[in-house]
């Protein structure tokens, strides 16, 4: 075989290998990553806008709430009955008192519905806010997917570039070997198999995936504690916030939890907050996994309860020292024992 034939054969082999290699190495590009990061910024802005809309609607509802009337009086009476039944059940948790509590809760929800229905503007605002909050949950879910995909794509791009460099080095080595054979005017011998210079991308931890040792920010001013150490720290801080005022007061604050599946409300529960003093409150409730809307008066939080924490008894601590922005700390009751 002539030296020129050897060179041509080597080039053909390299070209074929390059075509196969390029097909196998097809990976997301830097442009794909840039587009994903731009989408991340868009979603973050959209979430901020939806939050502002929800707050604005809450303020409008607070300003349009009727201050008197028979529906308002009936609702206030039902709330007082619910609080009394709650206190009785806490003191004496018998089946009879539990039944009375559930009956009082039902009457309170019925009175609230009639109270709100008496004002068409209030009803329209609440329906509009429900729509905003459903959209907020949807956008959050998309943002979570995008934020999970970004570090994955970075790793794929890094691995792709490393494989490209290894492939270029392999081609250069093959070309040098072919040139050496041509210069020596020797017939092509069976080439030794070339070891694949394949380098695996270093595994990087996904910092966006919350570990069990980190608090979870489920919504603005709504934090879920996930470890006993966090709970002990928070309870110590709670005592500092209460200070010397340990007075137990009738708070007249009700915690409402609405659970949604595919945008439809499937469950609703209410629990009474106990006043701990100095605008600090505590309640116990069960929050189902998935989409939930938490309401205290006209303040609302939209949360996606993780599967591992859903369906169990939760402690809800509310710091209402800032009347315009109360803060919720939640944690499984099992971490409190």
Q: Is the pLDDT of residue 269 over 50?
A: yes
Q: How far apart are CA 124 and CA 193, in angstroms?
A: 74
Q: Is the pLDDT of residue 293 over 70?
A: yes
Mean pLDDT of 86-102: 85
| Residues 308 and 259 sit within 8 Å (Cβ to Cβ) | no
Residue 243: predicted pLDDT: 77
Helix axes 95-117, 120-183, angle to 10 degrees: 100
Band of pLDDT at residue 206, cut at 50, 70 and 90: very low
Q: Is 277 exposed, middle or buried (0-12, 13-18, 19+ CB in 10 A)?
A: middle
Higher pLDDT pick, 11 / 153: 153
Band of pLDDT at residue 309, cut at 50, 70 and 90: very high
Q: How far apart are CA 154 and CA 157, in angstroms?
A: 5
Tell me: the pLDDT tens digits for 21-44? 444 445 668 888 889 999 999 999
Mean pLDDT of 314-332: 92
DSSP 113-169: HHHHHT-HHHHHHHHHHHHHHHHHHHHHHHHHHHHHHHHHHHHHHHHHHHHHHHHHH
Residue 112: predicted pLDDT: 79
Residue 249: predicted pLDDT: 55
Which range, 122-126, 183-187, 325-329, is most confident? 325-329
* Residues ≥6 apart with Cβ < 8 Å to 193: none
Q: How far apart are CA 179 and CA 45, in angstroms?
A: 58
Q: In the 3-class helix/strand/coil scheme, how is 25-53 assigned residue by residue?
A: CCCCCHHHHHHHHHHHHHHHHHHHHHHHH
User: Which residues, in sequence order, are bridge partners of residue 331?
Assistant: 315
Mean pLDDT of 134-150: 88
Mean pLDDT of 2-31: 53
Q: Is the pLDDT of residue 294 over 60?
A: yes
Mean pLDDT over the full length of the chain: 79
Q: Is the pLDDT of residue 16 over 50?
A: no
DSSP 3-state of 3: helix
Q: Is the pLDDT of residue 130 over 90?
A: no
The two beta strands, 327-332 and 222-224, are: parallel
Residue 29 is encoded by which pair of tokens? 């590009």
């Amino acid at each position: 075989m002539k030296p020129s034939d050897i060179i041509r054969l080597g080039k053909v082999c390299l070209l074929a290998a390059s075509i196969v290699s390029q097909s196998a190495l097809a990976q997301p590009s830097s442009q794909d990553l840039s587009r994903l990061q731009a989408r991340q910024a868009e979603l973050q802005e959209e979430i901020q806008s939806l939050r502002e809309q929800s707050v604005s609607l809450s303020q409008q509802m607070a300003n349009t709430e009727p201050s008197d009337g028979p529906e308002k009086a009936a609702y206030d009476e039902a709330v007082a009955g619910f609080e009394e039944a709650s206190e009785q059940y806490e003191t004496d948790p018998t089946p009879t008192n539990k039944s009375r509590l559930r009956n009082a809760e039902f009457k309170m929800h019925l009175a609230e519905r009639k109270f709100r229905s008496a004002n068409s503007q209030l009803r329209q605002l609440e329906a509009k806010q429900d729509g905003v909050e459903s959209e907020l949950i949807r956008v959050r879910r998309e943002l979570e997917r995008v934020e999970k995909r970004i570090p994955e794509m970075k790793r794929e791009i890094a691995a792709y570039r490393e494989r490209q460099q290894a492939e270029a080095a392999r081609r250069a080595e093959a070309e040098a070997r072919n040139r050496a054979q041509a210069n020596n005017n020797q017939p092509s011998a069976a080439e030794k198999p070339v070891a694949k210079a394949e380098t695996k991308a270093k595994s990087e931890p996904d910092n966006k995936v919350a570990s069990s040792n980190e608090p979870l920010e489920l919504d603005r001013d709504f934090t879920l504690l996930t470890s006993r150490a966090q709970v002990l720290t928070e309870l110590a801080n709670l005592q500092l916030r209460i200070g010397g005022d340990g007075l137990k007061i009738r708070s007249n604050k009700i915690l409402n939890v609405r659970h949604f599946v595919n945008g439809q409300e499937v469950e609703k529960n209410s629990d009474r907050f106990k006043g701990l003093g100095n605008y600090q409150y505590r309640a116990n409730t069960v929050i189902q996994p998935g989409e939930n809307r938490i309401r205290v008066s006209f303040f609302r939080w939209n949360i996606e309860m993780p599967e591992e924490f859903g369906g169990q008894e939760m402690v809800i601590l509310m710091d209402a020292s800032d009347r315009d922005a109360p803060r919720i700390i939640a944690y499984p009751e099992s971490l409190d024992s």
